[in-house]
């Protein structure tokens, strides 16, 4: 697979593109920080670089992977979202990570919603899960806003993670849930919008 073979996804505020060498410093800043504590981090610089290389290699090996999330207007990166299935993962996962300074703006919701739709529409996925550290409340809330529900029957990665199962394509397409997600994203796109409670990724 070549870089140009990684599909590009556009949403209202974002462009999702394959991870590129120039995006690495942003990735490293998050994965060597405390922000990465629910994703196997903080990593040292060597581990962080190897993980970034693995994010890219995942596309070649699986034919799908994690996109880099860019601002449509400025091209700044905000995090990554997409599919993730290294060895030992029981099922393909929909995963996300948002740089700390980009949190609270609904960016993860917008990117993950678009990535999931891509897998359902173009790769024929009939189901998907997210493996989440039970202490990672922001991620659990995002999974729930995406309509995923805890699946206690599903196999976990290592017993320390909770499995959230996403709604199947047929249940999501055109549903009240999908409209609700799109309405929430629309709120976040409105510059005057102030979320109640605290802002969500």
Partner 1 sequence: MIQVPVLTTARLTLRAPGLADFEPLADFYASARSRHVGGPITREQAWRVLAAETGHWTLRGFGRWAVEESATGALVGLVGPWFPEGWPEPEIGWDLMNGHEGKGYATEAAFAALQGAYDLFGWTTAISLVAPRNAASRRVAHRLGASRDGSFTHVRFGEMEVWRHLSPEDLAAGGIEAYA
- Tokens 């993980």: give the residue: 51
- Tokens 């999330």: give the residue: 69
Residue with smaller CB distance to partner 1, 17 or 145: 17
Q: Give yes or no for residue 2 binding partner 1 (CB under 8 A).
A: yes
CB of 65 to partner 1, least distance (A): 9
CB of 163 to partner 1, least distance (A): 16
Identify the residue among 15, 24, 42, 138 touching partner 1 (CB under 8 A).
24
Q: Give yes or no for residue 60 binding partner 1 (CB under 8 A).
A: yes
Q: Give yes or no for residue 123 binding partner 1 (CB under 8 A).
A: no
Q: How far is CA 167 from CA 9, 17, 73, 159, 172, in A?
A: 21, 25, 31, 23, 6
Identify the residue among 51, 92, 154, 178 touching partner 1 (CB under 8 A).
51
Classify residue 22 as left (phi > 0), alpha (psi -120 to 50) or beta.
alpha
Residue with smaller CB distance to partner 1, 56 or 200: 56
Answer yes or no: are the C-beta atoms of 193 and 187 closer than 8 Å. yes
């Amino acid at each position: 697979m070549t870089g140009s073979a990684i599909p590009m996804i556009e949403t209202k505020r974002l462009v999702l593109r394959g991870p590129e060498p120039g995006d690495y410093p942003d990735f490293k800043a998050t994965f060597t920080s405390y922000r990465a504590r629910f994703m196997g981090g903080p990593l040292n610089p060597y581990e962080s670089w190897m993980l970034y290389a693995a994010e890219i290699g995942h596309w070649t090996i699986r034919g799908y992977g994690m996109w880099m999330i860019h601002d449509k207007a400025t091209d700044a990166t905000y995090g990554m979202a997409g599919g993730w299935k290294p060895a030992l993962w029981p099922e393909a996962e929909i995963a996300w990570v948002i740089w700390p300074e980009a949190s609270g703006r609904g960016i993860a919701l917008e990117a993950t919603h678009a990535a999931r739709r891509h897998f359902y529409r173009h790769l024929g996925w009939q189901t998907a899960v997210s493996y989440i550290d039970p202490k990672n409340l922001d991620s659990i809330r995002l999974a729930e806003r995406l309509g995923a529900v805890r699946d206690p029957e599903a196999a976990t990665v290592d017993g320390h993670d909770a499995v959230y199962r996403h709604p199947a394509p047929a249940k999501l397409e055109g549903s009240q849930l999908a409209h609700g997600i799109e309405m929430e994203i629309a709120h976040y796109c409105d510059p005057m919008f102030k979320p109640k409670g605290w802002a969500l990724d």
